[in-house]
Chains A and B, each alone.
Chain A
Amino acid sequence: MDRISKIVAIGFVTIALTGGSLFLYYGLHSVRAEPQYSTVLPSAMDLPQFNLTQHNGTRFTRDELRGSWNLVFFGFTHCPDICPATLTQLAIAKSQLAAEGYETPNIVLVSVDPERDTPDKMAEYLSHFGSDISGLTGSTEEILKLAKALGIFFAKSANPNGDYSVDHSAAILLIDPNAKWHALFQAPHKIEHFVRDIPILTGAR
């Protein structure tokens, strides 16, 4: 083999190796998309048993979380700003994902203000967002069982007008079909974050 042929051969081998490496790198990365806006727990965590009431008056326990993915959000109906904004974002993300053909998680709002949030009140409130959002309320003790297990804090805060607000964790928790805590979205929330990550988290993409 003369010198020119050697150089040409080395050139071809170099191009082939570089191309092959790039193909493998991008190929593998596009196949295994990673969630960008959410955190997956190192291992899914069991939830304790709890006994709450759904907005339609039926009993809602840990078993009701089995069989499908659930996005759980803690809030209250007297919250005028962040709670309706978050529920609206979730409802829009869900409809966008459904339009793309994905099976979507159920949305579950757990009240941190059971004193004012009766099942009827929650039913009226949730009617605005569509029929497939569940609202849970019950005794503070039962709500705390679920909240504590999911690392959610809430506490009443008095307003100067004699009314009160409730400070609460704004994270949204993703529960897997085995009723185990799988991942979480931290605030501030954005529709595109849910649309991008939910299919990856549920293994649909």
Chain B
Amino acid sequence: MIGNRSIYILLTILLLSCESETRSSLEVSNIRVFSPMPGSSAGVAYMTIINNGENSVTLNGVRSPQFEYVEIHENVLNDGIVRMRHLDTVIIYGGDSAIFEAGGKHVMLIGAQPDTAVGSDITLELYYDDGEVSVTTTMLNRLSSE
């Protein structure tokens, strides 16, 4: 019994250490949040998520306290036609990165809270299969930031 318990404890420690290793291996950089255009309810966030670990990590969703709901989209340009598609998950393989940028993958921010404007701090909560990472940045005006 004691032997089994020790194995369980050891396994738990091992799993926890793997989890924290995978999470700490993620690096979020080049984060830009652009405010919704006048008359439009949707803002957009761009970033680069680098997976410095060996194992693949899945991004299952994004939330933000400053927006009603957040969706991950991808614009696909095919034969000159842009098609926007929902992504339920984004897999970032070990040693690889996911780039969210204009015309490609992007995080669509819908329904800004009333006091959210250019200059507001925006928090993005990134939900991975093994945990959560929060990043905060200032919301920008696209035209004056390009």
Q: Please pick, from A80, A85, A88, A170, the residue contacting B81 in the complex, using a CB distance under 8 A.
A: A170
User: With an 8 A cutoff between CB atoms, is A187 at the interface?
Assistant: yes
Q: How far is the CB of B87 from chain A (nearest CB, A)?
A: 11
* Cα–Cα distance between A78 and B75 once the two chains are bound (Å): 14
**Can you name the residue of chain B whose Cβ is closest to the Cβ of A75?**
B82
Is the Cβ of B102 less than 8 Å from the Cβ of A187? no
Q: A80-B42, A81-B44, A84-B34 are in contact. Are A157 and B146 (CB under 8 A)?
A: no
User: With an 8 A cutoff between CB atoms, is A92 at the interface?
Assistant: yes
Is the Cβ of A80 less than 8 Å from the Cβ of B40? yes
**Which secondary structure characterizes the binding site on chain B?**
strand
Is the Cβ of B86 less than 8 Å from the Cβ of A77? no
Query: B81 — which chain A residues lie within 8 A by C-beta?
Result: 153, 167-170
Q: A89-B146, A129-B143 are in contact. Are A84 and B37 (CB under 8 A)?
A: yes
B: number of interface residues (CB 8 Å): 30
Q: How far is the CB of A74 from chain B (nearest CB, A)?
A: 10
Query: A127 — which chain B residues lie within 8 A by C-beta?
Result: 38
Query: B39 — which chain A residues lie within 8 A by C-beta?
Result: 77, 121-125
* Cα–Cα distance between A142 and B34 once the two chains are bound (Å): 33
Q: How far is the CB of A89 from chain B (nearest CB, A)?
A: 7
Max count, chain A CB within 10 A of own CB: residue among B44, B71, B73, B102: B102
Q: Please pick, from B41, B75, B86, the residue contacting A81 in the complex, using a CB distance under 8 A.
A: B75
**Can you name the residue of chain B whose Cβ is closest to the Cβ of A154?**
B81
* Cα–Cα distance between A159 and B75 once the two chains are bound (Å): 13
**Can you name the residue of chain A whose Cβ is closest to the Cβ of B146?**
A88
User: With an 8 A cutoff between CB atoms, is B103 at the interface?
Assistant: yes
Is the Cβ of B82 less than 8 Å from the Cβ of A80? no
Q: How far is the CB of A159 from chain B (nearest CB, A)?
A: 6
Is the Cβ of B37 less than 8 Å from the Cβ of A77? yes
User: With an 8 A cutoff between CB atoms, is B80 at the interface?
Assistant: yes
User: With an 8 A cutoff between CB atoms, is A6 at the interface?
Assistant: no
User: With an 8 A cutoff between CB atoms, is A47 at the interface?
Assistant: no
Is the Cβ of B80 less than 8 Å from the Cβ of A82? no
User: With an 8 A cutoff between CB atoms, is B59 at the interface?
Assistant: no
Digit string of A68-99 for contact with B (CB within 8 Å is 1, else 0)? 00000000011111101100110110000000
Is the Cβ of A81 less than 8 Å from the Cβ of B38? no
User: With an 8 A cutoff between CB atoms, is A186 at the interface?
Assistant: yes
**Can you name the residue of chain B whose Cβ is closest to the Cβ of A121?**
B39
Is the Cβ of B80 less than 8 Å from the Cβ of A81? no
**Can you name the residue of chain B whose Cβ is closest to the Cβ of A129?**
B143
Is the Cβ of B40 less than 8 Å from the Cβ of A82? no
Query: A81 — which chain B residues lie within 8 A by C-beta?
Result: 44, 73, 75, 84, 102-103, 106, 108
Top-5 shortest CB links A-B: A124-B39, A80-B42, A85-B102, A125-B39, A167-B83
User: Can you list 8 A-B pairs with a CB-CB distance of less than 8 A?
Assistant: A84-B34, A89-B146, A122-B39, A125-B37, A128-B143, A161-B69, A187-B80, A188-B77
Give residues in A with beta carbon < 8 Å to B: 77-82, 84-85, 88-89, 91-92, 121-125, 127-129, 153, 157, 159-161, 165, 167-171, 186-188, 191
